């Protein structure tokens, strides 16, 4: 199964279950997340959702480039990010390991984040000729522009402790404390009035501006990049484990 789900005391845990592929996001994972969130949205017994990854290598390494190179339809991945962005109930991320690319963008759409100490975060898409189109381009809303640009233009990773200092995440804990700490935070949220929690989330997130309108140009640019020679070269180079030879077109 591409994801695992477990509902316990009002907290639904969604685990991306592709540890052999560093929990990379393919069409099956995307569609499974969409389905799980739709069910959770309509389920009165689900008060809070926690997203995490299986294994100890990655929360998610991002878009599955091998699937992209093979021509798989990855539109469900983008739709899953939209489903996360529009989900009305509280979303928490338990970042168990590397949180990169699309995994980082998934994390950004969560409301509260707990991470294992030393975990690398980052947006390495530019190194593969791609754009952090699922929300990474909205990073200047969360960080000073110069910092956001350095992260976006270099694609270099940074540790959880830096993410905490910048205010991108809420807690950094030892590995053995990750799920207990995240579930405790989830329980504290779920103990509050659900209507008040939903209204607070809706109003606070509205301060980020019209995300739907802002992401329109991002998806347009992403479409251009995915059709470019550079994107094809990047995915081929990734599959062949070699450095890409950029063509600039």
pLDDT at 248: 81
Provide Rg for the chain, Cα atoms.
Answer: 17
State percent of the chain over pLDDT 70: 94
pLDDT at 103: 97
Q: What is the mean pLDDT of residues 170-190?
A: 98
Of residues 209 and 79, more confidence is placed in 79
pLDDT at 85: 92
pLDDT at 215: 60
State percent of the chain over pLDDT 90: 71
Torsion of CA 228, 31, 123, 243, to 10 degrees: -50
pLDDT exceeds cutoff 80 at 29: yes
Residues carrying an active site annotation: 105, 125
Q: What residue ranges define each of the domains in the chain, with the CATH number in brackets?
A: 3-176+196-204 (3.90.226.10)
pLDDT exceeds cutoff 80 at 64: yes
pLDDT exceeds cutoff 80 at 91: yes
Per-residue pLDDT tens digits for 122-154: 999 988 888 886 677 789 989 999 999 999 999
pLDDT at 133: 67
pLDDT at 241: 83
Q: What is the mean pLDDT of residues 223-240?
A: 78
Of residues 141 and 29, more confidence is placed in 29
Q: What is the mean pLDDT of the chain?
A: 91
Q: What is the mean pLDDT of residues 205-212?
A: 73
Confidence of residue 211 (pLDDT cuts 50, 70, 90): low
247, burial (CB in 10 Å: exposed 0-12, middle 13-18, buried 19+)? exposed
pLDDT exceeds cutoff 70 at 210: no
Nearest to 116 by CA among 58, 61, 156: 58
What the block records as the tokens of 154 is 């270099």
- The residue written with tokens 């290598």 in the block is 57
pLDDT exceeds cutoff 70 at 214: no
Nearest to 153 by CA among 139, 163, 167, 141: 139
Per-residue pLDDT tens digits for 32-55: 999 999 999 999 999 999 999 999
- Positive or negative: CA dihedral 72, 151, 120, 36: negative
Nearest to 121 by CA among 105, 134, 132: 105
């Amino acid at each position: 199964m591409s994801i695992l789900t477990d509902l316990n005391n009002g907290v639904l845990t969604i685990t991306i279950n592709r540890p052999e592929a560093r929990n990379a996001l393919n069409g099956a994972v995307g569609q499974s997340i969409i389905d799980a969130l739709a069910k959770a949205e309509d389920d009165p017994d689900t008060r809070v959702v926690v997203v995490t990854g299986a294994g100890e290598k990655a929360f998610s390494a991002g878009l599955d480039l091998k699937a992209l190179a093979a021509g798989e339809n990855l539109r469900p991945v983008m739709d899953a990010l939209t489903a996360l962005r529009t989900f009305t109930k509280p979303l928490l991320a338990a970042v168990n390991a590397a949180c990169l690319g699309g995994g980082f963008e998934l994390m950004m759409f969560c409301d509260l984040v707990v991470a294992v100490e030393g975990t690398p975060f980052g947006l390495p898409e530019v190194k593969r000729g791609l754009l952090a189109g699922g929300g990474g381009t909205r990073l200047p809303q969360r960080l000073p522009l110069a910092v956001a640009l350095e992260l976006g233009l270099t694609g270099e990773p940074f540790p959880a402790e830096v993410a905490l200092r910048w205010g991108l995440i809420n807690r950094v804990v030892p590995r053995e404390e990750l799920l207990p700490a995240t579930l405790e935070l989830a329980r504290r949220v779920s103990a509050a009035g659900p209507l008040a929690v939903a209204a607070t989330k809706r109003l606070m997130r509205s301060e980020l501006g019209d995300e739907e309108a802002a992401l329109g140009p991002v998806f347009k640019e992403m479409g251009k990049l995915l059709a470019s020679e550079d994107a094809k070269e990047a995915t081929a180079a990734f599959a062949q484990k070699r450095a890409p030879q950029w063509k600039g077109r």
